[in-house]
Amino acid sequence: MDLGGYFTLIGFGPTGWGDQLLAAALMTLAVSASAFFASLAFGLVGAAAKLAPSAPLRWLAEAYTTIFRGVPDLLVIYLFYFGGSQALSALGHLFGHAGFLGLNAFMVGTLAVGLVAGAYQTEVIRGAYFAIPPGEIEAARAVGMGRLLMLRRITGPRALRFALPGMGNVWQQVLKESALISVTGLAEILREIHIGAGSTHLPFDFYVTGFFLYLALTTLSGFLFRGAEAWTMRAERRPA
Amino acid sequence: MDLAFLIATMERLLAGVPLTLELSALSISTGAAIAVLFAVLRTSSRVGEWLVRAYVYMLRGTPLLLQIFLIYYGLAQFAAVRESLLWPFLREPFWCALLALTLNTAAYGSEIVRGGLQSVAQGAIDAGRAAGMSRLLLYRRIVLPLALRQALPAYGNEMIAMVKSTSLASIVTLMELSGIAYAVISETYRAFETFLCAGSIYLAINFLIARGIAWAEHRLNPHLRPAA
Amino acid sequence: MSTPAAISVRDLHKRFGANEVLKGVSLEAQAGEVIAIIGASGSGKSTLLRCISLLEVPDEGSVAIAGEAISLRTRRGRREPADRAQVNRIRASLGFVFQSFNLWAHMTVLENVIEAPVHVQRRPRREAIAEAEVILKKVGMVEKRHAYPAHLSGGQQQRAAIARALAMRPKALLFDEPTSALDPELVGEVLRVIRSLAEEGRTMLIVTHEMAFAAEVSDRAIFLDAGRIEEEGPPAQVLRDPSSERCRQFLLRYINR
């Protein structure tokens, strides 16, 4: 592996793969962010259901977290990739559409990875809610706050501070799991790397490039999350 | 729902269970041994600490599927690898997947074991030293037993994660549980039913692991249970 | 000199960073002698005991057990034992009783007691168990031999820890504030056990804040102050009528507490 040739290969020159790799990295970020926000939504609903007074709601949430934390992500992706088209085509037939309908790969990735991560997010948010000292909730009640106002002003911000480290872990997980979406053909990092490896017969060069691309993404976003954590912890630090 | 299809699918999928279990058991056990070694190495010297930290950082910062591809497709780029004694192993998807799974779980596991090591009370170590134990004996009889008990619940979660991760072996052509599930789906386009069958098998395996860990915790921690 | 001293410490210095905890301590304990070591917290009492069993490595000075000097060397500016095997052998000949018991949480009382005899001294398990049961009877813990430390009171844990130290057939026993972590009502049972050991004629160094007990069991008392031996002599003198002003003040504070 000669280094000059390597940098031409992954560079932005006419024979380089730089453009594709950059686009792929952006795609990885986009689908990861999309799945992460989906997981936040699923996690909020899941945590609310787990904390709900209604028993069936709690069982439903329990079933959700048990299934999606116990089944491989790859199977969930297959479920949405093939199952999504199965359902959509059936729906299409109903409305007189004869052909094949499918979810696009980006949607599949968002939903599948988002649902799996949402199961973990549920536990993170639930744990954060229980980490709030009960005295603070009582104090909010004592000044006459209603449930919604309390959620917005007191429990929400406090829970976020306790949840942020866990959410950072879920984000890292989502970023890495997004590589599995390559099986649906979405042009994210692993997919482009795989194509590059196949068409140039330089698999090692390409996979190592992918390795460091992911490492850069996880490292940089790790810094961001730690910065956000430090910001939410500002009240806990002593003044300088 | 089509019961006959479910039963037929279940039968096909069950044939993949031995391979799933084999990959899981081998990677978890070998990975755990390496994890303990790395965790101890990390506490033993400056150089060891940095080597293990770099290893853990790289393996936890990248997708497992990429690690599998790097070993299975990437290494073959080099003639030296293709002509080496290891080639009979490195050209087999089974050994490549197993190697990647093992190296991956060793990274996560070593962090869990490290947490366990840090939880061992200094007093217990002092007492061992005061009794004249050598470093090796101290680790074998006092530090590791206490650390591993502490690490067990978190390690149980890692084992379950590994069982799920063995599904990635299907992408390098291994016909374990997920590989067969993929084949069934692409033949029949019945993703829901197949997911139901394959998912419940994974859930059953992971349920058994969780029960096993809980049982082991109960057995190994009589000192944490209320006195009889 | 006919028989060497059981424990001989010469000009011991120990620093933690900029803080010099021991500033040249020398002491000799003859076989069968019981020495009480008193002093304020931070005076270096515990560090002295920990240096004797090499749990801390002294920066200067020497330690000899039954005439065998522990060999130390300096490497990259740090003092360390020259021969780990020697240190382990010497430690196994000393029984150390800690303030916070430090029983091994994952082992029963009996397993704690036979651990070092079986694995360090390599004595047959059966023999170690038989001996352990005799010792546990002596400290009043034989009924609790299959209990885990977490299920015992502090006094019971400390008696088990004393049994663990005795099971090594030690040449000397080192007690590091053995009753300081105990509730007041549990102190008596532990002191009774230590007193019976003193009566057997064992060599013991006892760091303690129990002045009456120290006066009663010891042959000699040492008052440590700021890393130095400030006063030393018969317990009646050191603990009741010290000549040093610092020692007098220390005792006054203790009595008035």
Residue-by-residue DSSP string for C56-75: S--SEEEEEETTEEPPEEEE
Would the CB atoms of C104 and B127 count as touching at under 8 Å?
yes
Among C53, C90, C98, select the one facing B123 at the smallest CB separation.
C98
Residues 6+ apart with CB under 8 A from C78: C57
Owning domain of residue B73? 3-224
Query: With left for phi above 0 and alpha for psi between -120 and 50, is residue C229 left, alpha or beta?
Result: beta
Would the CB atoms of C55 and B223 count as touching at under 8 Å?
no
Q: How far is B202 from chain A (nearest CA, A)?
A: 6
Which residues in chain B are contacts of C101 at CB distance < 8 A? 123
Which residues in chain C are contacts of B147 at CB distance < 8 A? none
Q: What is the average per-residue pLDDT within C159-181?
A: 94
Would the CB atoms of C89 and B130 count as touching at under 8 Å?
no
C8 three-state secondary structure:
strand
Would the CB atoms of C106 and B220 count as touching at under 8 Å?
yes
In a domain, C49, yes or no: no
In a domain, C235, yes or no: no
Which residues in chain B are contacts of A190 at CB distance < 8 A? 63, 65-66, 69
Which residues in chain B are contacts of C150 at CB distance < 8 A? 223-224
- DSSP characters for C117-171? HHHTS---HHHHHHHHHHHHHHTT-GGGTTS-GGGS-HHHHHHHHHHHHHTT--S
Question: Does the structure show a pLDDT above 70 at C190?
Answer: yes
The conformation of residue A229, written as its DSSP 8-state character, comes to H
Tokens of A84: 């999504």
- pLDDT for A160: 86
Burial class of residue A16 in the structure, from the number of CB atoms within 10 Å of its CB (0-12 exposed, 13-18 middle, 19+ buried): middle
Burial class of residue C200 in the structure, from the number of CB atoms within 10 Å of its CB (0-12 exposed, 13-18 middle, 19+ buried): exposed
Which B residues, 208 through 227, put their C-beta within 8 Å of a C-beta on chain C?
220-224, 226-227
pLDDT above 70 coverage of chain C, percent:
98
- pLDDT for A140: 82
Task: Report which residue type is found at B70.
Answer: L
Q: How many domains does chain C have?
A: 1
A60 three-state secondary structure:
helix
- pLDDT for A1: 52
- DSSP characters for C180-245? TTS-HHHHHHHHHHHHHHHHTT--EEEE-S-HHHHHHH-SEEEEEETTEEEEEE-HHHHHHS-SSH
What is the distance between the alpha carbons of residues C256 and C244, in angstroms, rounded to a whole number?
A: 18
In a domain, C2, yes or no: no
- What's chain B's average pLDDT? 92
b/e code B190-223 from CB counts within 10 Å (16+ = b)? bbebbbebbbbbbeebbeebbeebeeeeeeebbb
Residues 6+ apart with CB under 8 A from C21: C14, C15, C42, C44, C47, C227
pLDDT less than 70: residues of chain A: 1-2, 97-102, 235-240
What is the distance between the alpha carbons of residues C170 and C158, in angstroms, rounded to a whole number?
A: 17
Q: CA-CA-CA-CA torsion for A82, A83, A89, A91, nearest 10 degrees?
A: -170
Q: What is the average per-residue pLDDT within B198-207?
A: 96
CATH assignment at residue B47: 1.10.3720.10
A15 or C56: which leads in pLDDT:
C56
Q: How far is C202 from chain B (nearest CA, A)?
A: 18
In a domain, C42, yes or no: no
Which residues on neighbouring strands pair with residue B121, listed in sequence order? none
Q: How many CB pairs under 8 A join A and B?
A: 126
Tokens of C200: 């057997």
Q: CA-CA-CA-CA torsion for B160, B165, B167, B172, nearest 10 degrees?
A: -160
Cβ atoms of B146 and B88 within 8 Å: the answer is no
Q: How far is B109 from chain C (nearest CA, A)?
A: 22
What is the distance between the alpha carbons of residues A121 and A128, in angstroms, rounded to a whole number?
A: 10
Each residue of C107-123: pLDDT tens digit? 999 999 999 999 999 99
The answer to whether B and C touch (≥3 CB pairs < 8 Å) is yes
CA atoms within 13 A on the CB side of C190: 31
Q: Which of B141, B148, B218, B224 to mutate: most C Cβ within 10 Å?
A: B141
- pLDDT for B227: 62
- Confidence tier at C78 by pLDDT (50, 70, 90): confident
Q: What is the value of pTM for the model shown?
A: 0.85
Which residues in chain C are contacts of B141 at CB distance < 8 A? 115, 119
Q: How many domains does chain B have?
A: 1
Q: Which of B69, B72, B165 to mutate: most A Cβ within 10 Å?
A: B69
Cβ atoms of C230 and C244 within 8 Å: the answer is yes
C94 three-state secondary structure:
strand
Q: What is the average per-residue pLDDT within B159-164?
A: 96
Which A residues, 84 through 103, put their C-beta within 8 Å of a C-beta on chain B?
85-86
CA atoms within 13 A on the CB side of C237: 10
Q: Chain B residue with minimal CA distance to C89?
A: B132
Would the CB atoms of C101 and B149 count as touching at under 8 Å?
no
- pLDDT for C252: 85
pLDDT above 90 coverage of chain C, percent:
74
Would the CB atoms of B69 and A211 count as touching at under 8 Å?
no
In a domain, C15, yes or no: no
Question: Does the structure show a pLDDT above 90 at B219?
Answer: no
Among B69, B191, B202, select the one facing A82 at the smallest CB separation.
B191
Which residues in chain B are contacts of C121 at CB distance < 8 A? 132
Q: Is B70 on the interface with A (CB under 8 A)?
A: yes
Q: Is A218 on the interface with B (CB under 8 A)?
A: yes
Each residue of B64-86: pLDDT tens digit? 999 999 999 988 888 887 888 88
Cβ atoms of C159 and C139 within 8 Å: the answer is yes
Instruction: Please name the chains neighbouring A, where neighbouring means 3+ C-beta pairs under 8 angstroms.
Output: B
In a domain, C70, yes or no: no
Q: How far is B124 from chain C (nearest CA, A)?
A: 5
Q: What is the average per-residue pLDDT within B105-134?
A: 94
- What's chain C's average pLDDT? 91
- pLDDT for C197: 93
Output the CA angle C155-C158-C159, nearest 5 degrees.
85
- pLDDT for C26: 94
Q: What is the average per-residue pLDDT within C177-189?
A: 91
Tokens of C91: 């430690």
